[in-house]
A and B are shown apart, each in its own frame.
Chain A
Amino acid sequence: QKEVEQNSGPLSVPEGAIASLNCTYSDRGSQSFFWYRQYSGKSPELIMSIYSNGDKEDGRFTAQLNKASQYVSLLIRDSQPSDSATYLCAAEPGGADGLTFGKGTHLIIQP
């Protein structure tokens, strides 16, 4: 069974600090990984996608992938109160299976 695991939190981080969100996945066949941000009552919004081992940076966001450890992370630098949301990690195995989501981590940025 394909699973994506995340700590549900809440994860509380002071404003201006680095928020670190982690995710593990069970299916070694997974090839593509995505981070979505979801505000309460809203739909998921794509933040980052990552396909190969290493780091990928986009503005204040850095995604990290380690396929050997089956581990994906998202770093948010200079955290802002507007970053407070639930962050969903998603994995897609090779093929047409759609996305498997983790349960999400609730992030709270304290002003």
Chain B
Amino acid sequence: DTEVTQTPKHLVMGMTNKKSLKCEQHMGHRAMYWYKQKAKKPPELMFVYSYEKLSINESVPSRFSPECPNSSLLNLHLHALQPEDSALYLCASSQRVADQPQHFGDGTRLSIL
């Protein structure tokens, strides 16, 4: 069991759907991250939030929209995704953005039809 909880675990959606991925941590961490991982590839950083403010957006398409409602929650809103967006989406958190290990949730496996 991980201390970073992601829901849902699996999601299948059409290209015209709107859905959201959710992430929650109760470790008091002030940095949260979204990564995308394709099969047999390493995780790729998408977004970094530090103290609930977006600090890094790694040139991610606008069809992915992050939101950090409070220090424990992180959402990723999805709209008009493409089949190539099918991947494992990982949330992570750390005490702060620098020099601290990141702890990952179990991920959401996303399939775009």
Contact = CB atoms under 8 A, between A and B. Distances in A.
Interface of A: 31-32, 34, 36, 42-46, 49, 51, 88, 92, 94-104
Contact of A99 (B41, B45, B107): B45
A43 B42 contact: no
Contacts of B101: 34, 46, 49
Interface residues on chain B, size class? 20 to 34
B11 to A, nearest CB: 16
Interface string B83-110: 0000010100000011111111111000
Interface of B: 2, 31, 33, 41-45, 48, 50, 55-56, 58, 88, 90, 97-107
B33 A98 contact: yes
B20 to A, nearest CB: 19
Contact of A43 (B56, B98, B99, B104): B104
- Majority SS at the chain A contact face: loop
A94 B100 CA distance: 11
Given A94-B99, A99-B102, A102-B42, 6 more contacts: A42-B106, A43-B2, A44-B104, A46-B101, A96-B56, A97-B56
Nearest to A98: B45
